[in-house]
Amino acid sequence: MSRIAYVNGRYLPHKNASVHIEDRGYQFGDGVYEVVLVLNKNLIDFEGHYTRLKRSLSEISLDFPISETVIKQIFKRLVRSNHITNGLIYLQVTRGVADRAHQFPTNVPPALVVTAKPTLITKTVAGKKAITTADQRWDRRDIKTIQLLPNCIAKQEAVKHDAFEAIMVMQDGTITEGASSNLWMVDKDNQLVTRQASNAILNGITKLSLTNIASIRQYKIVERPFTVEEAREAKELFVTSATAIVTPIIQLNDDLIADGNVGPVALALRSAYLENTR
């Protein structure tokens, strides 16, 4: 069964789907993206992802007037044609193909690529190790740009240390987020602490959604920056993203978090999130 991808209006076999070598995404990282979770053939938090996509496009002055309905149609068709029950959709918009010059080209149509793949989603998940590393990114981390080299370097550092995620730390000693996730801790008073939305982090759609789910369940949520020291002392740590959903972190560098077991809050929130998306 061959995989199908969407490229600029066409549905093509994944292995033949391609864009031009002078696409600005390829040459400059000039584009934005979204990753959307599919559960039981449903698009999860679609509106949130669409809203953030529009914002990212606007922040980089990329004029791409595509409606929510059209994007949803493309996503649904890819879910069907790739026979996906649980999986991920990747969407990327770049500023299109133009002679290489730094300034934005005029009258060039943006390029839209969408791919989909199945993944295994489980109710429970093993606790993972994370490492800390310097956050080397630019000042507009709120834009979901495809320029991810610092994130890739951080993730590679994690892999080198047999870790699942790299937790990025600013020069002031506060944690921003994971290389591809947002970080949360359960503090000694059982409050859920996660960094507030700002230009310092990507405002995760899973984080937004989980904030609603958790507050309905009477969890106290505090949005503020926190340090590596505080994370190390936390009762629980976990990360959220469209790919990780809610994944517990049981070790940070050489230190176990609490007793080194997966905590009840992370597991309860993972179940609640999966339940909520039924």
Q: Return the active site residues.
A: 144
Helices of type H across the chain? 24-28, 46-59, 68-81, 149-160, 205-216, 228-232, 264-276
Residue from 25, 204, 225, 248 that binds ligand PDD (CB under 6 A)? 204
- Segment contacting ligand PDD by CB under 6 A, of 15-23, 72-80, 123-131, 173-181: 173-181
Q: Is 35 helix (H, G, I), strand (E, B) or coil?
A: strand
Contact call for residue 247 and ligand PDD (CB under 6 A): no
**Burial class of residue 117, CB neighbours in 10 A (0-12, 13-18, 19+):** middle
Contact call for residue 94 and ligand PDD (CB under 6 A): no
HEC assignment per residue over 218-264: CCCEEECCCEHHHHHCCCEEEEEECCCEEEEEEEECCEECCCCCCCH
Q: Give the CA distances from residue 118 to residues 40, 69, 78, 240, 246, in Å, rounded to whole numbers and listed in that order.
A: 11, 23, 11, 19, 18
Contact call for residue 82 and ligand PDD (CB under 6 A): no
Measured from the CB atom, the residue of 115 and 206 that comes closer to ligand PDD is 206
Of residues 223-242, which lie at the interface with ligand PDD (CB under 6 A)? Answer: 240-242
Of residues 257-276, which lie at the interface with ligand PDD (CB under 6 A)? Answer: none
Q: How many degrees, rounded to 5, is the angle at CA 257 between CA 149 and CA 121?
A: 60
Please report, as a single letter, which amino acid is at residue 181.
S
* # binding residues, ligand PDD (CB under 6 A): 15
Contact call for residue 211 and ligand PDD (CB under 6 A): no
Residue from 38, 78, 205, 262 that binds ligand PDD (CB under 6 A)? 205
Measured from the CB atom, the residue of 94 and 181 that comes closer to ligand PDD is 181
Contact call for residue 181 and ligand PDD (CB under 6 A): yes
151 token code pair:
């994130």
Residue from 74, 202, 237, 266 that binds ligand PDD (CB under 6 A)? 202
- Residues near ligand PDD, by CB under 6 A: 35, 151, 177, 180-182, 202, 204-207, 240-243
